[in-house]
């Protein structure tokens, strides 16, 4: 039965769920049979199956992390690791998408987003990409924006050259898990000198209860090229927990510019454990803009490795933790070459008994002369029981490095609330306005329609938070 969670008083906006329809659903739990079934249904080359099975072995050997958020209630044996919603692969036209899936994305505004002349749109439903499109003029310039499966199928040599080189399976337990069961996601290649002025967009939707979603995105920005990729995520609310563990690999070559924006609004029963990493080459620039407003637990630390002289990267992060949520987020910058620079700006908001944690790493290797980095961590507490923590790690091995760090914690100011009420605002409206001002350094970097959506989501989260 389809339901709209808004009708039962929840603050989660995208809480509707469609009846499950699928052409294949793997058994619960993870074993060799499940991995082989995924590879079989995707008709993959033998080398990819071997890659998956090796990653499965790595995953099984690595222990669960004991730092960060509490993962003791995450039951990895009670997850469906692959659900194939349709036999129709990667439709080129919105009209080709099955009706029940189309209805879901209609409600999420995907067709509307494309009508706003986004350069490309991809939509993932459960474990598979169901809709992908690139403007014809970009295709003529050699831009590739396809599902990760079609990247493997149609551009195998390019795919194999980069896949798993930025985030190898050995990196961490959940990177190994993703490498074993990855399904869905995007493959993006921007040729040398091509500037994609409008953003590419992907949207990920989990409809099935107790589903794990393991999309894999690989983006290669060749020399002097430019691209902005935007990802959004939602899931319905179920009484059982769901699991999302994506891997994002980005290669930014000499003189290129790339930007990756994530606005995640998972339901409050989602474990969201993601590995995002960029390798930035000479005189190239990469920005992470990371927004986290949903989930039960999020552990996500976008990372940039500055490996050649002149490489630069900025990380802008915002997290909103409500009651029952732990947002453990932040960023990592690794300086491995001279004259590299970067910054991390992290904003977190905690309301009710929500907990927000900043966890970051700055690593300046010996020989990365004249590296420059600044970190700002600002936390806003809405209620007395709200909690925030900061775990900054600094490993500086180069005397010429310039490193700054500052952190602030503040509470919602009663005097500011009173002043705004005296100007005619309701108490909730006043609190939401203050919060919007607090996150403004992040929101102003978003395209207009996403900034509006972020503010609307913040307002929903703030309803009933004061008074």
Percent of the chain with pLDDT over 70: 76
pLDDT band at 233 (very low <50, low <70, confident <90, very high): low
Cβ atoms of residues 101 and 125 within 8 Å: yes
Q: Is the dihedral of CA 459, 460, 461, 465 positive or negative?
A: positive
pLDDT band (50, 70, 90) for residue 465 = low
Which uninterrupted H or E stretch holds 288? strand 285-292
Mean pLDDT of 73-102: 64
284-312 in b/e form (b: 16+ CB < 10 A) is bbbbbbbbbbbbbbbbbbbbbbbbbebbb
Half-sphere exposure of 186 (CA within 13 A, CB side): 29
Q: Specify the pairing of strand 303-306 against strand 285-292.
A: unpaired
Angle of helix 32-41 relative to helix 173-181, nearest 10 degrees, comes to 50
Tell me the C-alpha distance between 284 and 286, whole Å. Answer: 7
pTM, two decimal places:
0.84
Mean pLDDT value across residues 365-386 = 95
Contact indicator for 376, 347 with CB cutoff of 8 Å: no
pLDDT tens digits, 447-461: 766 676 677 677 767
Q: Give 39's DSSP letter.
A: H
Sequence-distant (6+) residues with CB within 8 A of 370 are 338, 339, 400, 401, 402
Q: How confident is the model at residue 445 (pLDDT cuts 50, 70, 90)?
A: confident
Greatest mean pLDDT range, 23-37, 131-145, 225-239, 310-324: 310-324
Q: How far apart are CA 382 and CA 412, in angstroms?
A: 5
Report how far apart, in Å, the C-alpha atoms of 454 and of each of 237, 436, 461 are: 20, 9, 11
pLDDT band at 198 (very low <50, low <70, confident <90, very high): confident
The mean pLDDT of 207-226, rounded to a whole number, is: 84
Token code pair at residue 25: 């659903």
CB 251, CB 219: distance < 8 Å? yes
Average pLDDT of every residue of the chain: 82
Cβ atoms of 358 and 329 closer than 8 Å:
yes
pLDDT above 80 for 277:
yes
Rounded to whole angstroms, the Cα distance separating 98 from 23 reads 12
pLDDT surpasses 80 at 100: no
In this structure, what DSSP letter does residue 296 have?
S
Q: What angle do CA 156, 192, 184 make, to 5 degrees?
A: 40
pLDDT of residue 429: 80
Using an 8 Å Cβ cutoff, are 110 and 128 in contact?
no
Q: Quick check: 18 pLDDT over 50?
A: no
179 — pLDDT class (breaks 50, 70, 90) = very high
Tell me the pLDDT tens digit for each residue of 250-264. Answer: 999 999 999 998 877
- Reply yes or no on whether the pLDDT at 400 is more than 90: yes
Question: In 336-456, at which residue ranges do the beta strands (DSSP E only) sit?
Answer: 341-350, 355-364, 372-381, 387-396, 402-411
- Rounded distance, CA 64 to CA 66, Å? 6
Task: Answer with the residue of higher pLDDT: 210 or 397.
Answer: 397
Write down the residue that tokens 């007395």 correspond to: 384
Every domain of the chain and the residues it spans: 1-168+179-241
How many CB atoms lie under 10 A from the CB of residue 421?
A: 13
User: What is the C-alpha to C-alpha distance for residues 318 and 300, in angstroms, rounded to an integer?
Assistant: 11
Q: Label residue 87 by pLDDT band (50, 70, 90).
A: very low
CA nearest 305: which of 288, 281, 329? 281
pLDDT > 60? residue 246: yes
> What is the rounded CA–CA span in Å between residue 460 and residue 6?
11
The pLDDT score that the predictor gives to residue 130 is 39
């Amino acid at each position: 039965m389809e339901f709209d969670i808004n009708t039962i008083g929840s603050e989660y906006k995208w809480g509707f769920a469609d009846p499950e329809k699928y052409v294949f659903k793997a058994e619960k739990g993870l074993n060799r049979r499940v991995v082989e079934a995924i590879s079989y249904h995707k008709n993959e080359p033998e080398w990819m199956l071997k890659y998956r099975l090796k990653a499965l072995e790595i995953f099984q050997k690595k222990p669960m992390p004991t730092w960060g958020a509490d993962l003791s209630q995450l039951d990895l044996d009670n997850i469906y690791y692959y659900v194939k919603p349709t036999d129709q692969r990667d439709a080129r036209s919105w009209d080709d998408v099955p009706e029940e899936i189309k209805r879901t994305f209609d409600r999420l505004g995907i067709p509307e987003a494309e009508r706003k002349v986004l350069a490309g749109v991809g939509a993932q439903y459960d474990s598979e990409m169901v809709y992908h499109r690139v403007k014809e003029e970009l295709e003529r310039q050699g831009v590739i924006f396809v599902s990760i499966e079609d990247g493997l199928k149609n551009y195998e040599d390019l795919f194999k050259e980069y896949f798993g080189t930025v985030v190898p399976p050995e990196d961490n337990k959940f990177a190994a898990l993703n490498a074993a069961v990855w399904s869905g996601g995007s493959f993006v290649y921007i040729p040398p000198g091509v500037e994609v002025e409008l953003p590419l967009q992907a949207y990920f939707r989990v409809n099935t209860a107790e589903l794990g979603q393991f999309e894999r995105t690989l983006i290669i920005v060749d020399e002097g090229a430019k691209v902005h990729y935007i990802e959004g995520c939602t899931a319905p609310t179920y009484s059982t927990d769901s699991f999302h563990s994506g891997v994002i690999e980005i290669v930014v070559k000499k003189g290129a510019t790339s930007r990756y924006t994530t606005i995640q609004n998972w339901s409050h029963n989602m474990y969201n454990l993601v590995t995002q990493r960029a390798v930035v080459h000479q005189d190239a620039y990469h920005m992470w803009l990371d927004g986290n407003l949903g989930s039960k637990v999020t552990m996500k630390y976008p990372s940039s490795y500055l490996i050649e002289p002149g490489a630069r990267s900025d990380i802008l992060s915002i997290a909103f933790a409500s009651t029952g949520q732990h947002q453990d987020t932040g960023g990592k910058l690794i300086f491995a070459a001279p004259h590299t620079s970067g910054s991390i700006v992290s904003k977190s908001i905690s309301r009710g008994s929500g907990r927000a944690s900043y966890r970051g790493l700055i690593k300046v290797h010996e020989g990365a002369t004249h590296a420059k980095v600044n970190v700002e961590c600002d936390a806003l507490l809405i209620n007395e029981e709200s909690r925030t923590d900061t775990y900054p790690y600094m490993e500086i091995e180069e005397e010429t490095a310039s490193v700054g760090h500052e952190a602030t914690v503040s509470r919602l100011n009663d005097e500011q609330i009173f002043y705004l009420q005296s100007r005619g605002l309701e108490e909730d409206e006043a609190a939401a306005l203050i919060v919007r001002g607090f996150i403004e350094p992040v929101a102003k970097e978003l395209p207009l329609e996403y900034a509006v959506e972020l503010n609307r989501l913040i307002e929903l989260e703030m309803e009933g938070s004061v008074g």
